[in-house]
Structure 1
Amino acid sequence: MVLFYALFEHAAGYALLCVQEIEEIGLLLPQVEASITNFGNFNKIVKLAAFLPFKSAQAALENINAVSEGILHDDLRVFLETHVPQSKKKKKVILGVADSKIGAAILEELGIQCQTTHVVAEVLRGVRLHFHLLIKGLTRQSAGQAQLGLGHSYSRAKVKFNVNRADNMIIHSISLLDQLDKNINTFSMRVREWYGYHFPELVKVILDNHMYCQLAKTIGNRKTLSEERLEELEEITMDGSKAQTILDVSRSSMGMDIAPLDLINIESFATRVISLYKYRKDLQEYLRSKMNQVAPNLATLIGEVVGARLISQAGNLTNLAKYPASTVQILGAEKALFRALKTRGNTPKYGLIFHSTFIGRAAAKNKGRISRYLANKCAIASRIDCFSDMLTNVFGEKLRLQVEERLTFYETGQTPRKNTDVMREAVVEASLVVTELKRKRAKKLKKELKRKRRAESAAEAEMVLQMPTLEEVEVNNEVPEGSLKKKMKREFVEDNGSGEVFSLGSRKRSSVLSEAVDDSFETGLPTPDKKRKKKKRKSSVSE
């Protein structure tokens, strides 16, 4: 005799169903397929044996992750051990499962024979269709909501969508950086034009906008320049000859005189532009740190700014990882691509990756080839960054060396290494780096745990110090002087904060006496010492 059970995994929980007449079902497969849509016929051969609902959404996510990876979760193990009977000589138990991986895990750990056939698939299809009718209190709408919520959680945990990444910060940072560059350039030109009326020769001497704004703020009125201020100019220009040139030119300048109020406004505006330069530098450092956290391999390969522009153009890191290398190559040159397709001209060779140093170093005839090779490596680096648990820049370093070797090959003809050899080395080095990172993280967690324990012990010690002494207890409870100490026989030493009083003598006796004394303060009943004295008096009188 064969007992056949079917295991069904739902977003609401695990269901175990007893299937009757499994041999007839196997012989009459077309009839079974036709009768699945009718719940009355289906319920005659499939009965619900047990149901284990998930306690929370987190538990459901953990179980579905374990099932998808072919791992037997503790909840499923306990459920099957409890409700699936063991096979005997006369009765053989078979469990029908939908996935062969989880079936192999159940057979290995629990010894239950599992089966994945067309009959099992048809039975589970009927269970999926009528599941809300088999479980009491479950409706079609609530089952659908549970499936939708679990599906979203599973997708976010498996593919690591944008919610779990900080690439949004990278997108906004690089957009703000580009906007700052435009605004700073416009404002610097405005400072040059405004201050040029008073000191026009300074424009030809100083070409850097940031330095020009600093000099415009420092110099102010050119007539006040003298040999004494030469050191200030040298600090800004970092060149003694250039500072001397500015001083000489100021003495023979053709600029117009300027009013003090106009000069104050120019200096104020130059100060604002200098603060924008400082903020841009801080923002670039922030972008560099974010790229090293989110996409270290891409940043190492192509640079932080170009990598951030690629992520911003793609929308997020996950989209960039899904793109093929041909799309990464022309990312950012969509207008030129569609114009070329419309006019049947030559398509662009590169988009945003043109700003990489590799493209500039390559010869004109090799720019297309090196851009195609670089796009291939960028696609690999973005996928490693997107789907890795522990991020390192080892793969980015190896990929960068491969691009360098390819440049050398185009110039000198030296044969580069094979990609399989390079990746094999990278995997070994990355495993060592990940092990070291895990060790440092564990060490840091231990330090934090010790610090928390020290803080807790310090707080307990402070509580003990703040607790009232025996004399204060006597005063607060209006106990006569010395009576409490006589009753406790001077055995009490201190309170450890847990409500139990310790003594130099018997620990058990002191704790009992302390509780009795506290009760006597509240209820007014006699303490155990008084009861003992009364008993002794009665016994002596009777004698």
Structure 2
Amino acid sequence: MPKKSDKRARFLKKSRESVKEAMKSRDMLLASVTKSIESLDKTINLLGEHLEDWYSIYFPELKLDDRVKFARLVMMLDRKDVDQKELASLVGDKKAAEIKEAAQGSLGAELSREDLSQCMALARFVADLDKQRSKYGEYQEKLARELCPNISEVAGPDLAAKLVSHMGSLSKLALLPASAVQVIGAEKALFKHLKNRKVPPPKHGLIFQHARVSSSPKKVRGKIARALANKITLAAKADAFSKRDISEKLRKEFDERYKEIMKEYEKERKKK
């Protein structure tokens, strides 16, 4: 009869092999790079906000919605000697002219060379983070197209990566029904609904990021999200199990369903 220590050793060996096998999984790589991108986005946004506050002491009139572009502007801008042509290469002629005019009558404080150099160092850091984010984005797309080509074609590689990352693996995503895929990422809203039936259930989660869902009229957004979730579910099963390329068929079916929904919506709208 084997000793307890032998059983334990075999169990530990099997566990280590299982972990080692799991670590090889491309799912984990995709999840890791996706989470890294999300963290970088948050960091860029936060540091960009701090940069705007800091630079507003020197040039309060400078406004730009894109925080990465704002950082690049800070790197190239001299308020006392504005190179309009150089600015135009980044923000266009009209905005460059506006910035030059604002610089000439700026109410900002005078800062020392050291103060400005520290501000520019932060701007460079934000710009460098954005470059790294772009590299990770390319790597994420490559992994997504390799691991889940059908989902990548139907929903786009970025959304495909986020869905797999949220679930932890492609196989887990593939086992979900379409109704669950539709609300991945909206767990808090779903929990509130289950806790209090007076709270309406969520109509979409991460798949709201798909252009056809986010840009559609609110009234039909749920239908479009459901149609997309149906195709993602089929795509996930093909990617995880059969490994067949059915992306063209699924994309065509989703396009047709989208057109049907929008046609019905326009018809109803005209009646009113």
- Please report the TM-score for the alignment, with normalisation by the length of structure 1: 0.44
Distance (Å, rounded) in 2 between the aligned partners of 1:162 and 1:386: 15
Q: How do 1:262-341 and structure 2 match up within 5 A?
A: 262-341=115-194
Q: Is the 8 A contact 1:162 1:318 kept in 2?
A: no
Alpha-carbon distance change, 400 to 377 in structure 1, aligned in 2, over 3 angstroms: same
Alpha-carbon distance change, 230 to 336 in structure 1, aligned in 2, over 3 angstroms: closer
The secondary structure found in structure 2 opposite 1:202 is coil
The answer as to 2:61 corresponding to 1:210 is no
- Letter in structure 2 aligned against 1:212: F
- Letter in structure 2 aligned against 1:298: I
Choose from 248, 258, 266 the match for 1:407.
258
Alpha-carbon distance change, 381 to 200 in structure 1, aligned in 2, over 3 angstroms: same
Q: Residue deviations 1:395-440, cap 9 Å, x none?
A: 2232122111001112336xxxxxxxxxxxxxxxxxxxxxxxxxxx
Q: How do 1:136-535 and structure 2 match up within 5 A?
A: 162=22, 165-203=25-63, 206-220=64-78, 222-225=79-82, 229-237=83-91, 239-345=92-198, 346-389=200-243, 394-412=245-263
Among the aligned pairs, what percent are the same residue? Answer: 32
Return the offset for 1:162: 4.6
The secondary structure found in structure 2 opposite 1:404 is helix
Distance (Å, rounded) in 1 between the aligned partners of 2:162 and 2:221: 20
Name 2:267's counterpart in structure 1. Answer: none
Higher relative contact order (CA 8 A, sep 6+): 2
Structure (1/2) with the larger helix percentage: 2
Distance (Å, rounded) in 1 between the aligned partners of 2:81 and 2:216: 51
Count, aligned residues: 252
Return the offset for 1:366: 2.3
Q: Is the 8 A contact 2:31 2:162 kept in 1?
A: yes
Q: Residue deviations 1:295-323, cap 9 Å, x none?
A: 11111111122211211121111111111
- Letter in structure 2 aligned against 1:401: K
Q: Is the 8 A contact 1:233 1:243 kept in 2?
A: yes
Distance (Å, rounded) in 1 between the aligned partners of 2:80 and 2:222: 56
Alpha-carbon distance change, 250 to 363 in structure 1, aligned in 2, over 3 angstroms: closer
Return the offset for 1:362: 3.5
Distance (Å, rounded) in 2 between the aligned partners of 1:294 and 1:243: 44
- Letter in structure 2 aligned against 1:347: P
Q: Residue deviations 1:128-149, cap 9 Å, x none?
A: xxxxxxxxxxx778xx98xx99
Alpha-carbon distance change, 243 to 361 in structure 1, aligned in 2, over 3 angstroms: closer
Distance (Å, rounded) in 1 between the aligned partners of 2:41 and 2:156: 18
Q: Is the 8 A contact 2:174 2:233 kept in 1?
A: yes
Alpha-carbon distance change, 255 to 212 in structure 1, aligned in 2, over 3 angstroms: same
Structure whose alpha-carbon radius of gyration is higher: 1
Q: Residue deviations 1:466-485, cap 9 Å, x none?
A: xxxxxxxxxxxxxxxxxxxx
Alpha-carbon distance change, 188 to 361 in structure 1, aligned in 2, over 3 angstroms: closer
Distance (Å, rounded) in 2 between the aligned partners of 1:411 and 1:230: 45
Alpha-carbon distance change, 344 to 217 in structure 1, aligned in 2, over 3 angstroms: same
Distance (Å, rounded) in 2 between the aligned partners of 1:184 and 1:409: 40
Q: Residue deviations 1:371-413, cap 9 Å, x none?
A: 2222121111111111245x6xx42232122111001112336
Structure (1/2) with the larger strand percentage: 1
Q: Is the 8 A contact 2:27 2:168 kept in 1?
A: no
Q: Is the 8 A contact 1:162 1:316 kept in 2?
A: no
Return the offset for 1:169: 1.0
**Runs of 4+ with deviation above 6 angstroms:** none
